[in-house]
Chains A and B, each alone.
Chain A
């Protein structure tokens, strides 16, 4: 149905796509695999008219087409759910969906589509309040909006760029039902994911990219997780990081009866208490929007507590500023890495010293020492294997995985006592995930207290020593990592005490 032939695209300093050929049939889910920076998003942006290829052609049902803009793509029945959401934060859900929708009436277009949004949402399990503003929504809710945007435009071919990275296991299942339905109706689905389990479950065929080149296109039946991983990174990958036993020491972080309000002014945390000990990872599981964001923000000094207390190594730190908390030894790996993790327009090196630039050796008095910063940046880039054309390119040009490695290296370079990690491996490829898990476990070994907030149950089960489940602003229960299983956690995530 859709074929890309010999697509080549270079960006300054990077060959993002190198003669890529990809055939997608109607009625199939075609997975696109590859490490961070392999060129998947670039290829899809070309198909959606955001980028123009340097060479190569696109054919749709045998006919050569020129896709010069997203408008052309939409007109040809191609829809995309992008990796970095393209939503208007201050507008409502309905306004975002109605924007540019052909055939909408002139007056009050957003009001008009509200029922359709609700109906589609109910049908596909993508429920979202059409009148809520985007900035009030969690990433997973925002993604529902993106999916609805494409569905409502009746896309024949739908590109999903890492759609599952912000979904809970239940939501992933729901999405797969949607994709299966689309398949039956003859749609073509291009599915990008780093989670090999998902790929083997939903995809019919898979194409693997490495450094911009196609290394293989295979029917899913003829391959398995292990060989896919090998194709992607060119070596064997450990899926399950080894976790050494460690007896935790005393309490490092204690939350006592915390009450925190959400952006809308409603209670997001209703008096929760927990503690994280040195040398321990406390996992916080739960469906997005149950208070995770507020929890992370109150502990990292980005949101005030209404009442209750936070203690850090026996010091009262409730409602201290983000910088004071950082200096007290709290590292923050934020959930929205583009928005909170980096300054996109600043260089990789500058981003690496964002939290330390004011101290020696990076500055002497008021003067910043560029040389010391560049040297430090080179060391970090090597140590954390950050793939970048150089330390002086703007950080926004890095791929998602490499941005995350950048943040991690910056946050962990100060030897923090407490690490608050929010969805640390969302969107990362298998080897980067492996790397980050290894780093977190190393820190645990060395006595850091780690609060790991994640929607990825496998990640929590693999890393956490104890697991707390958040539901509706309360901790439903805390279970030991050894005793927890997916079923039980899944029930707790819906608010049942088991």
Chain B
């Protein structure tokens, strides 16, 4: 009985953990390049809607995920344009993207609610395993390749990278768009695999949790795997325990734990922690 319960929780944690991991990995790359994108939730919900719409019309859920990735990337492009080219405040732009995505998906999704999806992907699918493989690959790229060095440098000291001929704007654009693609796919996972249907706001705040995982993981793709699993379990438990504890209190659980985790991980040694230029717009030659 109890082992079954634990096993069940674990499996469900893996299921919710999958989109959390994908979204967090994307955000890690964006933030490592120096751009914080608080619009993850918005990119995810857009991904969820387009994945569902495409999967429903074409009957191909994988195609749905693909389109979700494109949509996520395109919406991230907007954030990149605002924050890199126009040098707008990244926090405001990201929050706007989150609101915009939620609103747009709500409008577009009218009339799609309640329709069942015939061809779905399993909850624990290739995406879960691929997510772990992706984490390892992204970790390796970040710490052990030229590309990773360029991305990290851009986020730490853009002026230094610029002086060595690195195109800071291009790196940041690519990283942000890459983050958007992963967030879009993460969102698509909800509507074609996790709960194959479309409901408004179905990503349920997981985009915000993904951002917390980034910090919890110390901007390290490998550690994000554990973060995603942990937060996945909490997220699932917040539904599972509803029989015993008030649902309102439970729904706070992942977010309350986010605060606890941030408090616990904030005391880091020098050399860890957020990229030094995170959130700061860069312009060449400015003093």
Contact = CB atoms under 8 A, between A and B. Distances in A.
Interface of A: 45, 48, 50-52, 69-71, 74-75, 80, 82, 86-91, 95-96, 98-101, 104-110, 133, 135, 149, 263, 396-397
Main secondary structure, interface of A, reads loop
21 contacts: A50-B285, A70-B164, A70-B165, A71-B165, A87-B160, A88-B152, A89-B156, A89-B276, A90-B276, A95-B149, A96-B160, A98-B149, A99-B164, A100-B150, A100-B165, A104-B146, A105-B146, A107-B144, A107-B146, A135-B270, A397-B287
Given A50-B285, A71-B165, A99-B164, A87 B157 contact: yes
Q: From A96, A99, A107, name the one whose CB has the most chain B CB atoms within 10 angstroms.
A: A99
Given A91-B152, A95-B149, A51 B285 contact: yes
A90 B153 CA distance: 9
Contacts of A50: 162-163, 284-285
A296 B285 CA distance: 33
Contacts of B270: 90, 135, 263
A99 B145 contact: no
B271 A109 contact: no
B225 interface: no
Given A70-B162, A90-B156, A107-B144, A99 B271 contact: no
A104 B147 CA distance: 11
Nearest to B165: A71
Contacts of B152: 88, 91
A173 B284 CA distance: 34
A88 B287 contact: no
B167 interface: yes
B157 A45 contact: no
Contacts of B147: 106
Contacts of B159: 86
Contact of B165 (A74, A82, A397): A74
Contacts of B160: 86-88, 96, 99
Contact of B149 (A48, A87, A109, A263): A109
Contacts of A133: 271
B74 interface: no
Contact of B271 (A74, A80, A110, A135): A135
A407 B287 CA distance: 19
A396 B287 contact: yes
Given A70-B162, A99-B150, A263-B270, A108 B144 contact: yes
Contacts of A397: 287
A149 B164 CA distance: 9
Contacts of A105: 146
Given A99-B149, A100-B165, A106-B147, A86 B157 contact: yes
A75 B164 CA distance: 10
Interface of B: 144-147, 149-150, 152-153, 156-157, 159-167, 270-271, 276, 284-285, 287
Contacts of A106: 145-147
A82 B163 contact: yes
A35 B14 CA distance: 65
A69 B270 CA distance: 32
Given A48-B163, A52-B285, A98-B149, 14 more contacts: A45-B285, A69-B284, A70-B162, A75-B165, A80-B163, A89-B156, A89-B276, A90-B276, A99-B166, A100-B150, A105-B146, A108-B145, A110-B149, A396-B287
Contacts of A99: 149-150, 153, 160-161, 164, 166
A109 B153 contact: no
B136 to A, nearest CB: 14
Contacts of B149: 91, 95, 98-99, 109-110
Contacts of A75: 165
B164 A100 contact: yes
Contacts of A101: 164
A74 B164 contact: yes
A88 B275 CA distance: 11
A89 B270 CA distance: 10
A101 B164 CA distance: 8
Nearest to A70: B163
A104 B165 CA distance: 14
A17 B161 CA distance: 26
Contacts of B165: 69-71, 74-75, 100
A74 B165 CA distance: 7
Nearest to A73: B165
Nearest to A85: B160
B157 A89 contact: yes
B167 A71 contact: yes
A263 B271 CA distance: 11
A82 B153 CA distance: 18
A109 B145 CA distance: 6
A106 to B, nearest CB: 5
B143 to A, nearest CB: 9
Q: From A75, A80, A91, A149, name the one whose CB has the most chain B CB atoms within 10 angstroms.
A: A91
A19 B285 CA distance: 20
Nearest to B273: A90
B146 to A, nearest CB: 5
B153 A88 contact: yes
Given A100-B150, A100-B161, A109-B145, A90 B167 contact: no
A95 B152 CA distance: 10
For the complex of A and B, the 7 pairs showing the least CB-CB separation, nearest first, are A71-B165, A100-B164, A86-B160, A88-B157, A88-B156, A109-B146, A86-B163
A397 to B, nearest CB: 6
Contacts of B144: 107-108
B232 to A, nearest CB: 30
B94 to A, nearest CB: 22
A91 B285 CA distance: 22
A329 B147 CA distance: 50
A47 to B, nearest CB: 13
A48 B285 CA distance: 11
Contact of A100 (B157, B166, B276, B285): B166
A294 B206 CA distance: 46
B50 to A, nearest CB: 34
Nearest to A398: B287
